[in-house]
């Protein structure tokens, strides 16, 4: 699979995918005799992993560290687990903060909807905003 095929599959640009490989977010991709990248199933699995983690806001450095540990072999199982756990924990925390913001927004939106329907701003003496 060529770089552009992988890109259109995951909504990335070739620049991004090369960048990911260069900095180690994904392992080095196999090349044809003339030096062109040819993504196999394993490579695509790594791309999928990168896309999933990045879209959730996981820093590239964490992904790089995991790839590094993975490539270092079986002696890093515990370290890999610990790293994944750390990332997991910080995502859970991040989600809590998102939930708080979502709740805040839901509340405000319903207040605006009420105001727009009745034509009355019903929260004058509250927190403003």
Residues that bind its own copies (CB under 8 A): 41-42, 45-46, 49, 52-53, 55-58, 70, 74, 77-78, 80-81, 84-85, 87-88, 91-92, 94-95, 97-102, 104-106, 108-109, 112-113, 115-116, 121, 127-129
56's torsion region: left (phi>0), alpha (psi -120 to 50) or beta? alpha
| 4 CB-near residues (< 8 Å, 6+ apart) | 14
Compute the least distance from the CB of residue 19 to its own copies, in Å: 20
* Residue 3 binds to DNA (criterion: CB under 7 A): yes
* Contacted entry of its own copies, DNA, none for residue 36, CB cut-off 5 to 8 Å set by kind: DNA
Question: Which of 52, 72 has the CB closer to DNA?
Answer: 52
Q: Locate tokens 């199933």: which residue?
A: 41
- The interface with DNA within residues 9-48 (CB under 7 A) comprises 13-16, 18-19, 22, 31-37
* Contact predicate 6/17, CB 8 Å: yes
* Contacted entry of its own copies, DNA, none for residue 31, CB cut-off 5 to 8 Å set by kind: DNA
Angle at 48 between CA 46 and CA 51, to 5 degrees: 110
How many amino acids of this chain bind DNA (CB under 7 A)?
A: 22
Reduce the DSSP state of residue 19 to 3 states and report it. Answer: helix
Compute the least distance from the CB of residue 117 to its own copies, in Å: 11
Angle at 93 between CA 88 and CA 99, to 5 degrees: 125
């Amino acid at each position: 699979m060529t770089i552009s095929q992988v890109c259109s599959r995951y909504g990335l640009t070739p620049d991004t995918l090369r960048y990911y490989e260069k900095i180690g977010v994904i392992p080095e991709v196999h090349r044809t005799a003339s030096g062109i990248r040819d993504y196999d199933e394993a490579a695509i699995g790594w791309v999928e992993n990168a896309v999933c983690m990045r879209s959730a806001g996981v820093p590239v450095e964490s992904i790089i560290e995991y790839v590094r540990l993975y490539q270092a072999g079986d002696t890093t199982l515990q370290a890999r687990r610990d790293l994944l756990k750390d990332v997991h924990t910080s995502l859970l925390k991040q989600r809590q903060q998102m939930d708080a913001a979502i709740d805040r927004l839901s509340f405000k939106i319903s207040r605006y909807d009420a105001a727009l329907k009745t034509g009355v701003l019903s929260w004058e003496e509250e927190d403003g905003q």
